[in-house]
């Protein structure tokens, strides 16, 4: 198989077909393409690098073992992220991890939102409140804002109807807004928090 010059032009679906045909090296390319995104996603939930890496490794192993079940009705990325989210959720349930004291892991947002988050205190408060959201709401928020997925993709990852994915995102946004509106210390930083919520609102309106 030609690999040196055209690997970037090969789609995930084509690589999946090659793996099914016995070319295991093609799965290595899928790993290279998605391992960074999966690790970033896992860190949102686990807040620990070693455990997040375990989640990623387990997700890829499951994906390889279940590749024959991938029907291609969704993108490979959505299917893979679905496996990773379920793996993270199961680990949280089984081990009841508590990383509330870890301060060196921060949520990253797009350049547009980062312009508003000039105060580290605001960024940390947002991180804490996002972590407090129910798992489904947090998942929808993380996938939409930080992974820039469409609601259709989020629905695939969460294995739920399109409207349910949007509803989880909306409820997460409402909860965050209500929380910040009751915190008087944020009144001084209205512009900063406003920048964050402008980013969230923009992503929601785009999908209407």
Whether residues 119 and 194 share a domain: the answer is: yes
Whether residues 115 and 195 share a domain: the answer is: yes
**Tokens (6 digits) for 113:** 């939102």
Does some domain include residue 86? yes
Instruction: Give residue-wise pLDDT tens across range 45-61.
Output: 888 889 999 999 999 99
Domain-ending residue, one of 95, 119, 141: 95
Per-chain mean pLDDT for the chain: 77
Task: Return all residues near 148 (Cβ < 8 A) that are at least 6 apart.
Answer: 110
- Round to whole Å and give the CA distance between 157 and 95: 23
Whether the CB-CB separation of 144 and 154 falls below 8 Å is answered with yes
- Domain of 30 in residue numbering reads as 10-95
pLDDT of residue 117: 38
Whether residues 191 and 126 share a domain: the answer is: yes
Domain with residue 121: its CATH number is 1.10.10.10
pLDDT of residue 204: 52
Does some domain include residue 100? no
Domain-ending residue, one of 62, 95, 128: 95
**Tokens (6 digits) for 150:** 């469409």
- Round to whole Å and give the CA distance between 153 and 150: 5
Tell me what percent of the residues of the chain surpass a pLDDT of 70: 69
Cα R_g (the chain), whole angstroms: 18
Whether residues 26 and 65 share a domain: the answer is: yes
Q: Tell whether the model's pLDDT for residue 191 goes beyond 80.
A: no
Instruction: Give residue-wise pLDDT tens across range 135-175.
Output: 999 999 999 888 889 999 999 999 999 999 999 999 998 88
Please tell me the total count of domains within the chain. 2
Tell me what percent of the residues of the chain surpass a pLDDT of 90: 42
- Higher-confidence residue: 81 or 196? 81
Whether residues 186 and 142 share a domain: the answer is: yes
Domain-ending residue, one of 95, 121, 145: 95
């Amino acid at each position: 198989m030609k690999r040196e010059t055209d690997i970037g032009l090969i789609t995930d679906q084509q690589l999946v077909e090659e793996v099914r045909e016995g070319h295991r090296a093609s799965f290595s390319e899928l790993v290279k393409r998605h391992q960074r995104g999966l690790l970033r996603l896992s860190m949102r939930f686990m807040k620990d690098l070693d455990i997040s890496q375990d989640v990623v490794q387990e997700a890829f192993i499951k994906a390889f073992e279940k590749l024959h079940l991938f029907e291609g009705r969704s993108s490979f990325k959505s299917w893979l992220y679905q496996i990773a989210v379920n793996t993270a959720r199961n680990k949280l349930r089984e081990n009841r991890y508590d990383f509330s004291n870890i301060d060196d892991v921060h949520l990253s947002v797009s350049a547009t939102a980062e312009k508003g988050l000039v105060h580290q205190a605001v960024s940390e408060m947002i991180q804490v409140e996002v972590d407090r959201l129910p798992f489904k709401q947090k998942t929808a928020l993380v996938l939409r804002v930080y992974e820039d997925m469409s609601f259709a993709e989020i629905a695939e990852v969460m294995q739920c109807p399109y409207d349910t994915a949007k509803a989880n995102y909306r409820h997460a946004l409402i909860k965050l807004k209500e929380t910040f509106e009751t915190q008087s210390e944020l009144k001084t930083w209205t512009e900063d928090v406003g920048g964050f919520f402008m980013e969230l609102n923009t992503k929601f309106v785009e999908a209407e």
